[in-house]
Chains A and B, each alone.
Chain A
């Protein structure tokens, strides 16, 4: 049999498509894409989102320990090492604050913008266009911004 390498590559990564579908359903069913859920989170009026994010972080910590100890390896048998995030006080706090402003107003962070396309197509397209534009501005300015 003759295999086309692109075809194999496509098949190899098709699992990410299913993972995306799964993740979108989880976010949708737990209401973690709802504007109201983030509004009440930032106003500290409900436990719901803190429970979801906190729960995800605590369980992920256990997974991270299992990665570190080599008990869980990736599907090629390699050790799983999460990428180190770029360091820098201004970059993280100021960048984070700008992100938080957009998140707090629109109720949409990165992954949910794509999920919301399925719920509110036009508004989500504007959000997505804005986010791509924002990433573009960052790329243009990246060398000039304090880190």
Chain B
């Protein structure tokens, strides 16, 4: 029981993610998460606006079930499996974020400065989340995959497009954390 409630180490996470990939392929489908954003567009009627979305979303019912599972799993984890969300951060990270004006750093998974109510109901905070979301949705579909599809599935099957995409992920992530976050906070 203690193991269930403690944070799991990286060397537990890597293999368990690989096992998730294995099961996904064993069940006969290609592992990934971001195509669901397109499927949700199709379900919302985007096919009326663009032929790109004229697909039968029922062909992807397995992926939608996976997504529903992700949501349920998130609720189970947050309600029952993580009594303490403290993150053991590098003192350098804590110092940097303190200098940027963040508080209670690492006391929860999500900083109040981005995920808190005050941020949410301010124009700036709302736009930070909305624009990040748009970038994630647009970028992942343009690149043809996300962390699951490109970084894990694509790299492990030695695909060059995935290596390029992952290089892109890091270029974007580095620009965001080294330059954009210090500007917006």
Contact = CB atoms under 8 A, between A and B. Distances in A.
Q: Decide whether A and B are members of one complex.
A: yes
B56 interface: no
Contacts of A38: 173
A25 B77 CA distance: 6
Interface in A42-87: 42-43, 45-49, 51-61, 63-64, 67, 72, 74-76, 78, 80, 82-87
Interface residues of A, number: 114
B18 A59 contact: yes
Interface in A12-28: 13-28
A139 B46 contact: yes
B77 A28 contact: yes
Chain B interface mostly: helix
A37 to B, nearest CB: 7
Given A36-B105, A102-B132, A136-B41, A94 B62 contact: no
Contacts of B114: 35, 106-107, 123
A55 B11 contact: yes
Interface string B62-99: 11011111111111111101100101011011001100
Contacts of B155: 57
B74 A138 contact: no
Interface in A110-147: 110-111, 113-120, 122-123, 126-140, 142, 145
- Please provide the 9 A-B residue pairs with the shortest distance between their CB atoms, ordered closest to farther: A20-B69, A130-B133, A55-B14, A96-B168, A100-B172, A24-B73, A104-B176, A134-B137, A118-B74
Interface of A: 9-10, 13-43, 45-49, 51-61, 63-64, 67, 72, 74-76, 78, 80, 82-89, 91-111, 113-120, 122-123, 126-140, 142, 145
